[in-house]
């Protein structure tokens, strides 16, 4: 039987949205767009992911773009929550991120002789009439966002095979 692919348009149709997904479950499957196009479902949200051209079709953000988006959104939300709780005049948070692979000379933790490590730069812009102490504190709070903590601490990942489908 030929494999069926789901387009982003089909997946976002109300009748195609999965109901009652387990909280926190994200599923990713190939969508048939180019060699690497992916369909990502997170609850009732659906988005595309892909590799940039020329390897992929560039039909969505790359996996590293999604990783940076997770860090950026978590940072912004964490800062916003704290400022709101304190009643501080924060008007807008903008987080700009970039991931670079850097040569790591003498890297004892490098896997299998891979001498490159990821280095993420994160720039946070805080708009509003905040004083210097409020700005300093919000920058400290940014370091405590849950995704930042997960990335800097490392995460244990367990991989298991799914049951075969008939």
Return the pLDDT at 101: 83
Q: What is the pLDDT of residues 89-127, one digit of tens each?
A: 999 999 999 999 876 665 555 556 667 788 999 999 999
CATH number of 85's domain: 3.30.300.20
Burial 50-69 (b: 16+ CB within 10 A, else e): bbeeeebbbbbbbeeeebbe
143 phi-psi bin (left φ>0, alpha ψ -120 to 50, beta other):
alpha
Asked whether the whole model's pTM tops 0.85, one would answer no
Q: Looking at the domain assignment, is residue 148 inside a domain?
A: yes
| C-alpha–C-alpha distance, residues 134 and 88, integer Å | 8
Predicted confidence band at 22 (pLDDT cuts at 50, 70, 90)? Answer: confident
**Residues 36 and 98 both lie in one domain:** no
3 within some domain: no
User: Is 11 within 8 Å of 47 (Cβ atoms)?
Assistant: no
**Same domain, yes or no: 18 and 97:** no
Query: Closest Cα to residue 57, out of 42, 73, 38?
Result: 38
Does 45 share its domain with 80? no
Residue 141: which domain range? Answer: 63-153
- The helix/strand count (H/E) of the chain reads as 4, 5
Quote the pLDDT of residue 18. 46
When divided into structural domains, the chain yields a total of: 2
- Whether 136 is covered by a domain: the verdict is yes
């Amino acid at each position: 039987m030929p494999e069926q692919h789901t387009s982003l348009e089909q997946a976002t149709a109300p009748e195609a949205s999965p109901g009652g997904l387990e909280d926190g479950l994200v599923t990713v499957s190939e969508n048939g767009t180019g060699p690497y196009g992916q369909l990502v479902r997170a609850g009732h949200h659906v988005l595309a992911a892909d590799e940039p051209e020329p390897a992929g079709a560039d039909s969505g953000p790359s996996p590293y773009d999604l990783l940076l988006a997770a860090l950026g959104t978590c940072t912004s939300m964490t800062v916003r929550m704290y400022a709101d709780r304190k009643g501080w005049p924060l008007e807008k948070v903008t987080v700009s991120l970039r991931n670079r692979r850097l040569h790591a000379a003498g890297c004892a933790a490098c896997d299998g002789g891979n001498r490159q490590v990821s280095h993420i730069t994160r720039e946070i812009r805080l708009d509003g009439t905040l004083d210097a102490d409020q700005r300093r504190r919000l920058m400290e709070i940014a370091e405590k966002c849950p995704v930042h903590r997960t990335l800097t601490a490392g995460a244990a990942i367990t991989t298991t095979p799914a049951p075969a489908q008939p």
